[in-house]
Amino acid sequence: MNFSQLSATDIAAHIASREISCEDIVRHFIREEELWNPRLNAMVENRWDEALAEAREKDAFLAENPEAELPPLFGVPVTIKEMIAVEGFHSTMGSIHRKDNIKSKDASVVKRLKDAGAIILGTTNVPELGFWFECENPIYGATSNPYDLTRTAGGSSGGEAALIGAGASVLGLGSDVGGSIRMPASFCGVFGHKPSNRIVPATGHEPVDFDNALEMTGSKYPLTTIGPLARKAKDLRLAMELIIGPDGYDQEVKKDFKLSPPIESWEGAKVWILPSPTMTMVAGTDEDMSEAVLMAGKYLEGMGAELKTLRHDFFKSAILLWSAGLAEVEGETFEKLLFENEHPSIPLEIFRSFTTEAKYTLPGLLTTVAERISTKFQKHTAQLEELNRLRDQLNQLLAGKNILILPAHPRKAPKLHSTYLRPFDFAMTAIFNVLGVPATAVPIAQNEGLPTGVQIISAWGQDHVTLSAAESLEQAFGGWQAPEVL
């Protein structure tokens, strides 16, 4: 049995039927991580010994309780983004000022996976403070793409996407504030889901913790949304069913939200496509990324949907609207988080970022510069009004089982250390964070050995629609394709 081709759902089923043992499956993924991680630098902290011990305990339980009803992830190994709290593990956010920060309690979503029987294998790499679409920081270094080690895995959930894309993890948790699940998923050829805002508790993900969650409401509540990444589309739904819902701490989570059943037919649905979006300060879309959108749309049209093309400049102001929405969130500035109580010369630190004396990454420093500039233009009234209009318009357009398909990024995985040359390309994903709607990254094909893919959007709360579309497209195009060991 090829464990690397199994979904988390299938692994759990094989364990439940006693076809494979928990220890065998955990050992398999540890071997894959030992093989891949020296190449990728994706996993930053592991608990392999503890995971093996837990696997043996679960196997012993199965032997003693052959008729026991098992939770849905019993014995399934998973990985977690480093910014999401895992008890006893570091949560540095890739910042030198947080290098000794160790969590004493699991994030709510991590606890839910454990309660469902999952075995945590380790945590994965992030950019400095999690605020860039390339994983590199002064503590752990840079993460490479499993399809080409000279290219980025994306960010900020890049370590997670790289490990899953390599076949060294089957399921993981990431988070998304501007595309941080969807861009890495697209670059690494896997599935990733940014849930509708406020249906998954953020407790245990910076900056929301158990001791401040009750205060993190309204304008203090972050845009960040926790969601799953997986090699197989159906595992996204499984993970979502486990992590949604209130936890007693996060006061913003909708109390009555339930994930609806999968879509069984695309007849009667409108599938809007946007192959080549025009967005301010965003580069034009590469032909192979546009082609992936057309392929996905035409397939669903063949399944009975009505295919329609959205105006190319529908999201023209995406980067401005995302910036305005982000500015409405109260909290520490990025500069304060980056430098703590230090007051360095930013030009000097930018120079140092190219040397062995670097304390901060260039993207982190450039983000600080951009933040300083933006504070001079604090009035976002017009942009916020436009954002509200666009939100209403999009939710009406994508009501029911209607969807929008567009690229998750203008290009395939960029070369390492090149993303700052096109710093606003993330707007293609970021706009949907401030709109609050669900968005699912789906691999469609490969070109020149690199994955191409799309993101699927629906109205708020219609997560089951985008997840169903992901499963349909996986059946059509094959989904994740294992890379060769590089």
Q: What b/e readout covers 423-443, taking b as 16+ CB neighbours within 10 angstroms?
A: bbbbbbbbbbbbbbbbbbbbb
DSSP assignment string, 170-221: SEEEEEESSSTTHHHHHHTT-EEEEPPTTSS--TTBTT--TTTGGG--GGGS
To the query of whether residue 104 is one of the catalytic residues in this protein, the response is no
Q: From the candidates 21, 91, 108, 156, give the one annotated as an active-site residue.
A: 156
To the query of whether residue 156 is one of the catalytic residues in this protein, the response is yes
Q: How many CA atoms lie within 13 A of 223 on its CB side?
A: 24
To the query of whether residue 180 is one of the catalytic residues in this protein, the response is yes
Q: From the candidates 81, 103, 232, 412, give the one annotated as an active-site residue.
A: 81
For 309-335, what is the HEC assignment? Answer: ECCCCCCCCHHHHHHHHHHCCCCCCHH
Which value, in Å, is the radius of gyration of the alpha carbons in the chain?
21
Distance CA 222, CA 201 (A): 11
Structure-token pair, residue 352? 């140092």
Q: From the candidates 91, 180, 290, 472, give the one annotated as an active-site residue.
A: 180
Amino acid at 304: G
Cα 106–chain centre separation: 19
Are 224 and 176 within 8 A, CB to CB?
yes
DSSP bridge pairs for 84 = 205
Q: Which residue has the tokens 């701490």?
A: 249
**Which residues belong to the active site?**
81, 156, 180
